[in-house]
Structure 1
Amino acid sequence: MRLENGLLIIDLTGSLVTLLILTFWTALGWTRGFRYILTIALFTTLGYLLSVRADVIVSLVNGLYSFIVRFFNFISPVIAGILPAPPIVPANAEAPLLLRVVVFVIMVAVGIGWTGPWEGQPMRGWSGSRQLRLLGGLTGLYSGILIISATAVFWAAGRGLVSFPPSLTVILNSLPTFAATIPVFLAAFIFLLLIVSLSVFLNGLRPAASGGGGGGGARR
Protein backbone atom coordinates (compact mmCIF):
# COMPACT_ATOMS: atom_id res chain seq x y z
CA MET A 1 0.00 0.00 0.00
CA ARG A 2 1.46 3.34 -1.02
CA LEU A 3 0.43 6.89 -1.86
CA GLU A 4 1.29 8.25 -5.32
CA ASN A 5 0.14 11.63 -6.65
CA GLY A 6 -2.58 11.80 -4.04
CA LEU A 7 -3.87 8.31 -4.93
CA LEU A 8 -3.81 5.35 -2.57
CA ILE A 9 -2.30 2.37 -4.40
CA ILE A 10 -2.96 -1.06 -2.89
CA ASP A 11 -0.64 -3.83 -4.03
CA LEU A 12 -2.47 -7.14 -3.93
CA THR A 13 -0.15 -9.79 -2.56
CA GLY A 14 -0.79 -13.35 -1.50
CA SER A 15 -0.87 -12.33 2.16
CA LEU A 16 -3.42 -9.58 1.56
CA VAL A 17 -5.60 -11.79 -0.65
CA THR A 18 -5.42 -14.57 1.94
CA LEU A 19 -6.50 -12.15 4.65
CA LEU A 20 -9.37 -10.85 2.51
CA ILE A 21 -10.61 -14.36 1.71
CA LEU A 22 -10.46 -15.47 5.34
CA THR A 23 -12.21 -12.28 6.46
CA PHE A 24 -14.99 -12.79 3.90
CA TRP A 25 -15.70 -16.40 4.88
CA THR A 26 -15.49 -15.65 8.60
CA ALA A 27 -17.90 -12.72 8.21
CA LEU A 28 -20.23 -14.87 6.10
CA GLY A 29 -20.31 -17.57 8.75
CA TRP A 30 -20.85 -15.02 11.51
CA THR A 31 -23.67 -13.15 9.79
CA ARG A 32 -25.53 -16.17 8.35
CA GLY A 33 -24.98 -18.52 11.27
CA PHE A 34 -23.56 -21.98 11.85
CA ARG A 35 -26.40 -23.91 10.24
CA TYR A 36 -25.94 -22.07 6.94
CA ILE A 37 -22.15 -22.27 6.70
CA LEU A 38 -22.11 -25.91 7.83
CA THR A 39 -23.46 -27.06 4.46
CA ILE A 40 -20.69 -25.25 2.61
CA ALA A 41 -18.04 -26.57 4.99
CA LEU A 42 -19.21 -30.17 4.61
CA PHE A 43 -19.09 -30.13 0.81
CA THR A 44 -15.82 -28.18 0.78
CA THR A 45 -14.27 -30.77 3.10
CA LEU A 46 -15.52 -33.62 0.94
CA GLY A 47 -14.18 -31.95 -2.21
CA TYR A 48 -10.85 -31.29 -0.52
CA LEU A 49 -10.43 -34.89 0.63
CA LEU A 50 -11.38 -36.25 -2.79
CA SER A 51 -9.37 -33.96 -5.02
CA VAL A 52 -6.70 -32.06 -3.09
CA ARG A 53 -5.19 -34.30 -0.45
CA ALA A 54 -4.68 -37.15 -2.91
CA ASP A 55 -5.67 -38.29 -6.39
CA VAL A 56 -8.58 -40.22 -4.92
CA ILE A 57 -11.07 -38.91 -7.44
CA VAL A 58 -8.83 -39.88 -10.40
CA SER A 59 -8.50 -43.47 -9.18
CA LEU A 60 -12.22 -43.58 -8.42
CA VAL A 61 -13.24 -42.38 -11.89
CA ASN A 62 -10.82 -44.68 -13.67
CA GLY A 63 -11.87 -47.67 -11.58
CA LEU A 64 -15.56 -46.97 -12.14
CA TYR A 65 -15.05 -46.53 -15.88
CA SER A 66 -13.07 -49.78 -16.11
CA PHE A 67 -15.93 -51.58 -14.37
CA ILE A 68 -18.43 -50.10 -16.85
CA VAL A 69 -16.31 -51.22 -19.81
CA ARG A 70 -16.01 -54.75 -18.41
CA PHE A 71 -19.75 -54.82 -17.77
CA PHE A 72 -20.59 -53.83 -21.35
CA ASN A 73 -17.99 -56.25 -22.62
CA PHE A 74 -19.85 -59.00 -20.78
CA ILE A 75 -23.23 -57.82 -22.11
CA SER A 76 -22.20 -56.93 -25.65
CA PRO A 77 -18.61 -56.75 -26.90
CA VAL A 78 -19.83 -54.58 -29.78
CA ILE A 79 -20.98 -51.85 -27.41
CA ALA A 80 -17.82 -52.19 -25.36
CA GLY A 81 -15.76 -51.72 -28.52
CA ILE A 82 -17.37 -48.31 -29.08
CA LEU A 83 -16.23 -47.02 -25.70
CA PRO A 84 -12.73 -45.56 -25.32
CA ALA A 85 -10.25 -47.92 -23.76
CA PRO A 86 -9.58 -47.38 -20.05
CA PRO A 87 -8.29 -45.45 -18.26
CA ILE A 88 -10.69 -42.65 -19.14
CA VAL A 89 -8.44 -40.14 -17.35
CA PRO A 90 -4.99 -40.55 -18.94
CA ALA A 91 -1.84 -40.54 -16.85
CA ASN A 92 -0.57 -37.16 -18.00
CA ALA A 93 -0.14 -33.86 -16.22
CA GLU A 94 -3.21 -32.03 -17.53
CA ALA A 95 -6.18 -34.41 -17.33
CA PRO A 96 -5.91 -35.56 -13.68
CA LEU A 97 -5.31 -32.00 -12.49
CA LEU A 98 -8.26 -30.67 -14.50
CA LEU A 99 -10.51 -33.37 -13.07
CA ARG A 100 -9.41 -32.54 -9.51
CA VAL A 101 -10.04 -28.82 -10.02
CA VAL A 102 -13.46 -29.41 -11.59
CA VAL A 103 -14.54 -31.78 -8.82
CA PHE A 104 -13.47 -29.36 -6.08
CA VAL A 105 -15.22 -26.40 -7.72
CA ILE A 106 -18.39 -28.46 -8.21
CA MET A 107 -18.40 -29.58 -4.57
CA VAL A 108 -18.01 -26.01 -3.30
CA ALA A 109 -20.74 -24.81 -5.68
CA VAL A 110 -23.09 -27.56 -4.50
CA GLY A 111 -22.39 -26.60 -0.90
CA ILE A 112 -23.26 -22.98 -1.64
CA GLY A 113 -26.37 -23.74 -3.68
CA TRP A 114 -27.83 -26.70 -1.78
CA THR A 115 -29.96 -26.10 1.30
CA GLY A 116 -29.31 -28.70 3.97
CA PRO A 117 -32.25 -30.04 6.01
CA TRP A 118 -30.63 -28.67 9.16
CA GLU A 119 -30.35 -25.08 7.95
CA GLY A 120 -33.77 -23.58 8.59
CA GLN A 121 -33.90 -19.84 8.15
CA PRO A 122 -30.46 -18.20 7.90
CA MET A 123 -29.65 -15.57 10.47
CA ARG A 124 -29.98 -11.97 9.40
CA GLY A 125 -28.26 -8.86 10.63
CA TRP A 126 -26.33 -9.00 13.90
CA SER A 127 -28.95 -10.26 16.33
CA GLY A 128 -29.62 -13.84 17.34
CA SER A 129 -27.68 -16.58 19.08
CA ARG A 130 -24.09 -15.65 19.78
CA GLN A 131 -23.18 -19.32 20.02
CA LEU A 132 -24.41 -20.01 16.48
CA ARG A 133 -22.63 -16.91 15.22
CA LEU A 134 -19.35 -17.88 16.89
CA LEU A 135 -19.52 -21.42 15.52
CA GLY A 136 -20.49 -20.00 12.14
CA GLY A 137 -17.52 -17.65 12.12
CA LEU A 138 -15.07 -20.42 13.02
CA THR A 139 -16.57 -22.75 10.42
CA GLY A 140 -16.40 -19.99 7.81
CA LEU A 141 -12.74 -19.45 8.67
CA TYR A 142 -12.15 -23.18 8.25
CA SER A 143 -13.88 -23.16 4.84
CA GLY A 144 -11.76 -20.23 3.69
CA ILE A 145 -8.57 -22.03 4.72
CA LEU A 146 -9.54 -25.10 2.70
CA ILE A 147 -10.34 -23.00 -0.38
CA ILE A 148 -7.04 -21.11 -0.16
CA SER A 149 -5.11 -24.33 0.37
CA ALA A 150 -6.82 -26.00 -2.60
CA THR A 151 -6.08 -23.01 -4.83
CA ALA A 152 -2.41 -23.01 -3.81
CA VAL A 153 -2.04 -26.77 -4.30
CA PHE A 154 -3.70 -26.71 -7.71
CA TRP A 155 -1.60 -23.77 -8.81
CA ALA A 156 1.63 -25.43 -7.65
CA ALA A 157 0.75 -28.48 -9.73
CA GLY A 158 -0.36 -26.58 -12.83
CA ARG A 159 1.68 -23.38 -12.97
CA GLY A 160 3.68 -24.76 -15.88
CA LEU A 161 0.55 -25.66 -17.83
CA VAL A 162 -1.26 -22.31 -17.89
CA SER A 163 -0.30 -18.66 -18.09
CA PHE A 164 -1.86 -15.75 -16.24
CA PRO A 165 -1.09 -12.03 -16.02
CA PRO A 166 2.02 -11.30 -13.93
CA SER A 167 0.06 -9.64 -11.12
CA LEU A 168 -2.21 -12.68 -10.72
CA THR A 169 0.78 -15.02 -10.95
CA VAL A 170 2.47 -13.19 -8.07
CA ILE A 171 -0.64 -13.59 -5.93
CA LEU A 172 -1.02 -17.29 -6.74
CA ASN A 173 2.66 -17.97 -6.12
CA SER A 174 2.44 -16.48 -2.63
CA LEU A 175 -0.78 -18.18 -1.49
CA PRO A 176 -0.11 -20.53 1.45
CA THR A 177 -0.96 -24.22 1.21
CA PHE A 178 -1.35 -24.60 5.00
CA ALA A 179 0.12 -28.08 4.46
CA ALA A 180 1.30 -28.44 8.06
CA THR A 181 -1.95 -27.27 9.66
CA ILE A 182 -4.65 -28.66 7.35
CA PRO A 183 -4.78 -32.03 9.21
CA VAL A 184 -5.31 -30.12 12.46
CA PHE A 185 -8.16 -28.10 10.98
CA LEU A 186 -9.75 -31.24 9.53
CA ALA A 187 -9.55 -32.99 12.90
CA ALA A 188 -10.97 -29.94 14.68
CA PHE A 189 -13.89 -29.74 12.25
CA ILE A 190 -14.68 -33.44 12.68
CA PHE A 191 -14.49 -33.01 16.46
CA LEU A 192 -16.85 -30.03 16.23
CA LEU A 193 -19.33 -32.10 14.23
CA LEU A 194 -19.19 -34.86 16.85
CA ILE A 195 -19.82 -32.40 19.67
CA VAL A 196 -22.72 -30.74 17.84
CA SER A 197 -24.24 -34.12 16.92
CA LEU A 198 -23.94 -35.31 20.53
CA SER A 199 -25.53 -32.08 21.77
CA VAL A 200 -28.45 -32.45 19.35
CA PHE A 201 -28.88 -36.10 20.37
CA LEU A 202 -28.89 -35.29 24.08
CA ASN A 203 -31.37 -32.46 23.56
CA GLY A 204 -33.64 -34.94 21.79
CA LEU A 205 -33.57 -37.18 24.88
CA ARG A 206 -34.90 -34.47 27.17
CA PRO A 207 -38.38 -35.23 28.52
CA ALA A 208 -41.14 -33.15 26.99
CA ALA A 209 -42.53 -30.39 29.13
CA SER A 210 -45.64 -31.47 30.99
CA GLY A 211 -48.90 -30.01 29.81
CA GLY A 212 -50.81 -27.42 31.72
CA GLY A 213 -52.76 -28.56 34.76
CA GLY A 214 -56.36 -27.89 35.68
CA GLY A 215 -57.88 -24.53 36.20
CA GLY A 216 -57.14 -24.47 39.94
CA GLY A 217 -58.88 -22.41 42.54
CA ALA A 218 -59.77 -18.77 42.42
CA ARG A 219 -57.06 -16.18 42.95
CA ARG A 220 -56.57 -14.98 46.46
Structure 2
Amino acid sequence: MMTLIETIRQRPERSSGFGLFYGPSGYGKTVASTYAQNEDNCLYIEVREFWTRKDFCIAFLQELGQKPVGTISQMMREIIGSLGNDPDRAVIIDEADKLVDRNMIELARDLQEMTQAPVVLVGEERLKAKLDRYERCASRVLDEVKAVPCDVDDARELAGALAPDIVITDDLLAATCVRARGSTRRVANGLYDIANFARSRGLEEVSARAYTPQSASEKYAQAREVRS
Protein backbone atom coordinates (compact mmCIF):
# COMPACT_ATOMS: atom_id res chain seq x y z
CA MET A 1 0.00 0.00 0.00
CA MET A 2 2.75 2.45 0.94
CA THR A 3 4.67 1.73 -2.27
CA LEU A 4 1.51 2.16 -4.34
CA ILE A 5 0.81 5.56 -2.77
CA GLU A 6 4.37 6.75 -3.38
CA THR A 7 4.31 5.50 -6.98
CA ILE A 8 1.23 7.57 -7.72
CA ARG A 9 2.55 10.59 -5.82
CA GLN A 10 5.85 10.57 -7.76
CA ARG A 11 4.21 9.98 -11.15
CA PRO A 12 5.33 12.10 -14.13
CA GLU A 13 3.39 15.26 -14.85
CA ARG A 14 0.08 14.67 -16.66
CA SER A 15 0.13 10.96 -15.79
CA SER A 16 -2.98 9.29 -14.39
CA GLY A 17 -3.51 9.56 -10.67
CA PHE A 18 -5.59 6.53 -9.66
CA GLY A 19 -4.17 3.53 -7.84
CA LEU A 20 -6.01 0.25 -7.31
CA PHE A 21 -5.63 -1.95 -4.22
CA TYR A 22 -7.96 -4.94 -4.38
CA GLY A 23 -8.45 -8.51 -3.23
CA PRO A 24 -10.74 -10.92 -1.38
CA SER A 25 -12.44 -10.01 1.87
CA GLY A 26 -10.30 -10.49 4.96
CA TYR A 27 -6.94 -10.02 3.21
CA GLY A 28 -6.01 -6.97 5.30
CA LYS A 29 -6.83 -4.19 2.85
CA THR A 30 -8.56 -1.98 5.41
CA VAL A 31 -5.76 -2.54 7.95
CA ALA A 32 -3.24 -1.52 5.28
CA SER A 33 -5.34 1.55 4.50
CA THR A 34 -5.51 2.55 8.16
CA TYR A 35 -1.75 2.07 8.47
CA ALA A 36 -1.19 4.38 5.49
CA GLN A 37 -3.59 6.91 6.96
CA ASN A 38 -1.62 7.05 10.19
CA GLU A 39 1.88 6.82 8.70
CA ASP A 40 1.42 9.13 5.71
CA ASN A 41 -1.38 11.46 6.85
CA CYS A 42 -3.65 10.18 4.08
CA LEU A 43 -7.28 11.14 3.88
CA TYR A 44 -9.32 7.98 4.46
CA ILE A 45 -12.94 7.53 3.41
CA GLU A 46 -14.80 4.24 3.90
CA VAL A 47 -17.89 4.13 1.72
CA ARG A 48 -21.02 2.74 3.33
CA GLU A 49 -23.74 0.66 1.70
CA PHE A 50 -26.48 3.24 2.23
CA TRP A 51 -24.54 6.30 1.06
CA THR A 52 -25.80 8.78 -1.49
CA ARG A 53 -23.67 11.35 -3.31
CA LYS A 54 -24.49 13.80 -0.54
CA ASP A 55 -23.37 11.34 2.15
CA PHE A 56 -20.06 10.90 0.32
CA CYS A 57 -19.46 14.65 0.23
CA ILE A 58 -20.42 15.06 3.89
CA ALA A 59 -18.03 12.30 4.99
CA PHE A 60 -15.22 13.73 2.86
CA LEU A 61 -15.59 17.22 4.33
CA GLN A 62 -15.70 15.79 7.85
CA GLU A 63 -12.46 13.91 7.15
CA LEU A 64 -10.97 17.23 6.04
CA GLY A 65 -12.09 18.72 9.35
CA GLN A 66 -14.65 21.01 7.75
CA LYS A 67 -18.33 21.56 8.37
CA PRO A 68 -20.49 20.15 5.55
CA VAL A 69 -22.92 22.77 4.28
CA GLY A 70 -24.66 23.54 1.02
CA THR A 71 -25.60 21.50 -2.01
CA ILE A 72 -23.63 18.59 -3.45
CA SER A 73 -22.11 20.93 -6.01
CA GLN A 74 -21.04 23.41 -3.33
CA MET A 75 -19.56 20.68 -1.14
CA MET A 76 -17.65 19.19 -4.07
CA ARG A 77 -16.15 22.60 -4.83
CA GLU A 78 -15.11 22.90 -1.19
CA ILE A 79 -13.47 19.47 -1.26
CA ILE A 80 -11.68 20.21 -4.53
CA GLY A 81 -10.40 23.51 -3.16
CA SER A 82 -9.03 21.86 -0.01
CA LEU A 83 -7.34 19.02 -1.91
CA GLY A 84 -5.91 21.48 -4.41
CA ASN A 85 -4.11 23.29 -1.60
CA ASP A 86 -2.24 20.09 -0.69
CA PRO A 87 -2.00 18.03 -3.93
CA ASP A 88 0.57 15.57 -2.53
CA ARG A 89 -1.78 14.39 0.20
CA ALA A 90 -3.09 10.98 -0.83
CA VAL A 91 -6.75 10.02 -0.68
CA ILE A 92 -7.75 6.45 0.14
CA ILE A 93 -11.31 5.45 -0.74
CA ASP A 94 -12.11 2.11 0.91
CA GLU A 95 -15.05 -0.04 -0.20
CA ALA A 96 -14.83 1.73 -3.56
CA ASP A 97 -16.94 -1.09 -5.05
CA LYS A 98 -19.96 0.67 -3.59
CA LEU A 99 -19.15 3.85 -5.54
CA VAL A 100 -19.09 1.80 -8.74
CA ASP A 101 -22.25 -0.15 -7.90
CA ARG A 102 -24.16 3.07 -7.17
CA ASN A 103 -22.87 4.94 -10.24
CA MET A 104 -20.97 7.35 -8.00
CA ILE A 105 -17.42 6.58 -9.14
CA GLU A 106 -17.38 9.70 -11.30
CA LEU A 107 -17.23 11.72 -8.08
CA ALA A 108 -13.83 10.17 -7.37
CA ARG A 109 -12.72 10.83 -10.94
CA ASP A 110 -13.71 14.49 -10.69
CA LEU A 111 -11.84 14.86 -7.41
CA GLN A 112 -8.66 13.32 -8.80
CA GLU A 113 -8.79 15.05 -12.16
CA MET A 114 -9.45 18.52 -10.76
CA THR A 115 -6.89 18.34 -7.93
CA GLN A 116 -4.24 15.91 -9.28
CA ALA A 117 -4.14 14.34 -5.82
CA PRO A 118 -3.07 10.68 -5.58
CA VAL A 119 -6.25 8.62 -5.14
CA VAL A 120 -6.19 4.93 -4.16
CA LEU A 121 -9.37 2.93 -4.71
CA VAL A 122 -9.61 -0.03 -2.33
CA GLY A 123 -12.08 -2.85 -2.78
CA GLU A 124 -12.95 -6.48 -3.27
CA GLU A 125 -11.41 -8.73 -5.91
CA ARG A 126 -14.01 -7.78 -8.55
CA LEU A 127 -13.31 -4.05 -8.21
CA LYS A 128 -10.96 -4.07 -11.20
CA ALA A 129 -13.53 -5.76 -13.45
CA LYS A 130 -16.30 -3.46 -12.23
CA LEU A 131 -14.19 -0.39 -12.93
CA ASP A 132 -13.65 -1.53 -16.53
CA ARG A 133 -17.26 -0.55 -17.22
CA TYR A 134 -16.25 3.08 -16.67
CA GLU A 135 -13.56 3.71 -19.25
CA ARG A 136 -12.92 7.29 -18.10
CA CYS A 137 -12.02 5.92 -14.66
CA ALA A 138 -10.35 2.64 -15.65
CA SER A 139 -8.01 4.43 -18.06
CA ARG A 140 -6.80 6.63 -15.22
CA VAL A 141 -5.43 3.73 -13.15
CA LEU A 142 -1.67 4.20 -13.13
CA ASP A 143 -0.76 1.20 -10.98
CA GLU A 144 -2.50 -1.61 -9.15
CA VAL A 145 -1.70 -3.99 -6.31
CA LYS A 146 -3.54 -7.21 -5.59
CA ALA A 147 -3.67 -8.19 -1.92
CA VAL A 148 -1.97 -11.54 -1.25
CA PRO A 149 -3.12 -14.29 1.13
CA CYS A 150 -1.75 -14.54 4.64
CA ASP A 151 1.21 -16.94 4.82
CA VAL A 152 3.18 -18.52 7.66
CA ASP A 153 5.49 -15.52 8.04
CA ASP A 154 2.49 -13.20 8.31
CA ALA A 155 0.81 -15.54 10.79
CA ARG A 156 3.97 -15.63 12.90
CA GLU A 157 3.95 -11.82 13.08
CA LEU A 158 0.28 -11.83 14.03
CA ALA A 159 0.88 -14.47 16.70
CA GLY A 160 3.61 -12.34 18.24
CA ALA A 161 1.15 -9.45 18.53
CA LEU A 162 -1.99 -11.39 19.52
CA ALA A 163 -0.48 -14.11 21.73
CA PRO A 164 2.99 -13.01 22.83
CA ASP A 165 2.95 -15.37 25.81
CA ILE A 166 2.28 -18.49 23.70
CA VAL A 167 4.67 -20.24 21.30
CA ILE A 168 2.70 -21.44 18.28
CA THR A 169 4.76 -23.78 16.14
CA ASP A 170 5.13 -23.32 12.39
CA ASP A 171 3.18 -26.45 11.53
CA LEU A 172 0.17 -25.09 13.43
CA LEU A 173 0.61 -21.66 11.86
CA ALA A 174 0.64 -23.30 8.41
CA ALA A 175 -2.47 -25.33 9.23
CA THR A 176 -4.21 -22.19 10.46
CA CYS A 177 -3.44 -20.39 7.17
CA VAL A 178 -4.82 -23.30 5.17
CA ARG A 179 -7.95 -23.48 7.32
CA ALA A 180 -8.46 -19.73 6.91
CA ARG A 181 -7.97 -19.93 3.11
CA GLY A 182 -5.47 -17.10 3.31
CA SER A 183 -7.79 -14.64 5.02
CA THR A 184 -5.80 -12.55 7.48
CA ARG A 185 -8.96 -11.87 9.48
CA ARG A 186 -9.70 -15.59 9.81
CA VAL A 187 -6.07 -16.33 10.68
CA ALA A 188 -6.29 -13.76 13.49
CA ASN A 189 -9.48 -15.40 14.75
CA GLY A 190 -7.78 -18.79 14.62
CA LEU A 191 -4.78 -17.53 16.58
CA TYR A 192 -7.12 -16.13 19.20
CA ASP A 193 -8.72 -19.58 19.59
CA ILE A 194 -5.32 -21.26 19.78
CA ALA A 195 -4.17 -18.85 22.49
CA ASN A 196 -7.33 -19.52 24.54
CA PHE A 197 -6.85 -23.26 24.04
CA ALA A 198 -3.28 -23.02 25.35
CA ARG A 199 -4.09 -20.82 28.33
CA SER A 200 -7.03 -22.98 29.42
CA ARG A 201 -4.65 -25.96 29.56
CA GLY A 202 -1.65 -24.16 31.01
CA LEU A 203 0.43 -24.67 27.85
CA GLU A 204 3.28 -22.37 26.86
CA GLU A 205 3.68 -23.98 23.42
CA VAL A 206 1.13 -25.44 21.01
CA SER A 207 1.77 -27.58 17.93
CA ALA A 208 -0.58 -28.87 15.25
CA ARG A 209 -0.53 -32.29 16.90
CA ALA A 210 -1.45 -30.89 20.33
CA TYR A 211 -4.15 -28.50 19.19
CA THR A 212 -7.80 -29.42 18.77
CA PRO A 213 -10.13 -26.68 17.47
CA GLN A 214 -12.77 -25.85 20.06
CA SER A 215 -16.45 -26.25 19.35
CA ALA A 216 -18.88 -23.38 19.80
CA SER A 217 -20.19 -24.91 23.05
CA GLU A 218 -16.64 -25.21 24.42
CA LYS A 219 -15.95 -21.56 23.61
CA TYR A 220 -19.19 -20.55 25.28
CA ALA A 221 -18.41 -22.55 28.42
CA GLN A 222 -14.92 -21.07 28.56
CA ALA A 223 -16.28 -17.54 28.17
CA ARG A 224 -18.74 -18.12 31.01
CA GLU A 225 -15.93 -19.41 33.20
CA VAL A 226 -13.86 -16.34 32.51
CA ARG A 227 -16.77 -14.01 33.32
CA SER A 228 -17.51 -15.83 36.56
User: TM-score range with shorter-chain normalisation?
Assistant: under 0.3
Asked which structure has the greater CA Rg, the reply is 1
**More strand per residue:** 2
Compute the TM-score of the two structures, normalised by the length of structure 2. 0.26
Compute the TM-score of the two structures, normalised by the length of structure 1. 0.26
